[in-house]
Amino acid sequence: MKYFQKTSGIQVTPQALEAWHHAPGAFQRLTPPWERMRIVEESAGIADGTRAVIEMKAGPFWTKWIAEHQDCCPGKSFSDIQVKGPFAHWKHLHQFQSATKNGCYLRDNIEYRLPMGILGNFFGGALVRRKLERTFKYRHAITKMDLERLAGKDDSEPMTILVTGATGMVGTALEAFLRMRGHEVRRVTRNPQRSNDVRWDVRAGELDLSRDANIDAVVHLAGENIAGGRWSTERKQRILESRRLGTRLLCEKLATLDCPPKVLVSASGANYYDQKTDMFQDETSPKGSGFLSDVCEAWESETALAESARVRVVRMRLGVVISPAGGALSKMLPAFQLGMAGRLGSGEQRMAWIALDDVVDIIHRAIQDERYRGALNAVAPHSPSNREFTKTLARVLSRPAVIPVPAAALRFILGKEMANETLLADLALSPAKLERLGYRFRFPKIGEALNFMLVRAGSSNHGKELPESVAAEDL
């Protein structure tokens, strides 16, 4: 039998810590972004005998893991016992223990046995141990960050929130966060799979909201993937029309409701602005002249109909969203992990970026706070150059990054227009409005974001942990 323990101090009460673990969406929230995992079945709550069924991807294969909750002691602990899965034995004890007047310890104790006995330990023992250390370092960090950031800031009332693009990288993370906060999330999708999903077909102009008259808020994230392939004339048309027609259809339907939602948070892009300017651009800066600038302008203009129906509209101009769960970073990681990467072009072009957890947090605040309205730059306050980003990612991964990719090669592979407006784009933006609203970024600098998301050595600015040694007895 092998044993693993992780203990962290969190500045909330044990009751708040336990409630967080019991909340819908918490399990998905705890899933590290580098893991390929999908929840097949999730119980409504944690009690003796309830089960969670997940599927995990190992190489090309998906394996099922069934865990049953046992030994539930309200306010103190509960256990997960493997019923079916990759281990010969697995028992995970979650403990919530008082530490100070307003603080507690989160302790995870795991006892496990690998399959195939001595052979399993020889070939997989060290790998499993490293994976447990990495996974639980992330789980404790996300738990601490969520609870301490949101302590004492309860949402006013549970809301019903409609989300388009809910199965994408941002939408998946947002759904977990909103459900954890007590809200009902209804996905707008072409292929409904849940009872509360809403079907739409943008090309056919179909979106039935007849049974959704009590929608409180809408988050619109849907759109054709900009980096999904070389920009042919046909593909550029799909990129434009998916955003223009989708937003138009959504806003037309919202405007017809007897009681429209209070707020629409509609995604847009940082590419709205011009490139290669010396000054940092804020929400008052003029529109740029490229293809993506035109797309963003058309995208945003379609929300006017919702505004005419007295819906508060937030046009969120997103930078490059950073997460190993998808998007640009997930595509970069294999080359960087092999030490086969380097700067792009001159490396001097600046990147408007934002961490996935900040995107989710900002959307949540935009739903709740009536001061959020109009154009909003959802970008981190520091815009690193591509050279700086490359060096930072290589340092976090402990890999060299000495193989540059010439700009001419990128233009040959992607086409001049696509390369210039994506990988070679020089965008330095200021989150001026967010700063005036007092928003405190979880990850203001790229190094902090990468250290957190990839769980590598590095400092965090989320407050001191209580000393772990106080509660770190052996099993």
> In sequence order, what DSSP letters do the residues of 387-417 get, joined into one string?
HHHHHHHHHHHT------B-HHHHHHHH-HH
Residue-level pLDDT at 58: 78
Pair 166, 187: CB distance under 8 Å: yes
In a domain, 227, yes or no: yes
Res 236 pLDDT > 90: yes
In a domain, 55, yes or no: yes
Low-confidence winner among 70-79, 151-160, 232-241, 435-444 (lowest mean pLDDT): 151-160
Same domain, 353 and 291: yes
Q: Into how many domains does the chain fold?
A: 2
Which domain range does residue 39 map to? Answer: 2-150
**Dist CA 450 CA 434 (whole Å):** 22
Question: Would you state the structure tokens that stand for residue 55, as one six-digit string?
Answer: 């599927």
Residue-level pLDDT at 240: 96
Give the end of a domain, one of 150, 170, 203: 150
Residue-level pLDDT at 266: 98
What's the whole-number mean pLDDT along residues 4-28? 92
Give the end of a domain, one of 93, 123, 150: 150
Res 59 pLDDT > 80: no
pLDDT in tens, 110-128: 999 999 999 989 889 999 9
- Burial label for 175, CB within 10 Å (0-12, 13-18, 19+), is buried
Res 426 pLDDT > 50: yes
If one compares 273 and 59, the residue with the highest pLDDT of the two is 273
In a domain, 188, yes or no: yes
Res 463 pLDDT > 60: no
Residue 440: give its domain's CATH number: 3.40.50.720
Residue-level pLDDT at 100: 77
Same domain, 94 and 143: yes
Same domain, 100 and 176: no
Closest CA to 236 of 286, 290, 272: 290
Q: What is the pTM of this model?
A: 0.91
Res 473 pLDDT > 50: no
Same domain, 184 and 119: no
What's the whole-number mean pLDDT along residues 225-249? 95
- Model confidence band, residue 157 (pLDDT cutoffs 50, 70, 90): confident
Same domain, 388 and 407: yes
Give the end of a domain, one of 117, 150, 183: 150
Same domain, 200 and 240: yes
What's the whole-number mean pLDDT along residues 232-255? 95
Res 78 pLDDT > 70: yes
φ, ψ for residue 459 (rounded to 5)? Answer: -85, 160
Closest CA to 377 of 312, 295, 320: 320
- Model confidence band, residue 238 (pLDDT cutoffs 50, 70, 90): very high
User: To the nearest whole number, what is the mean pLDDT of the chain?
Assistant: 90
Residue 138: give its domain's CATH number: 3.30.530.20
pLDDT in tens, 348-387: 999 999 999 999 999 999 999 999 999 999 999 999 999 9
If one compares 45 and 231, the residue with the highest pLDDT of the two is 231
Same domain, 36 and 144: yes
pLDDT in tens, 297-310: 999 999 999 999 99
In a domain, 462, yes or no: no
- Model confidence band, residue 156 (pLDDT cutoffs 50, 70, 90): low
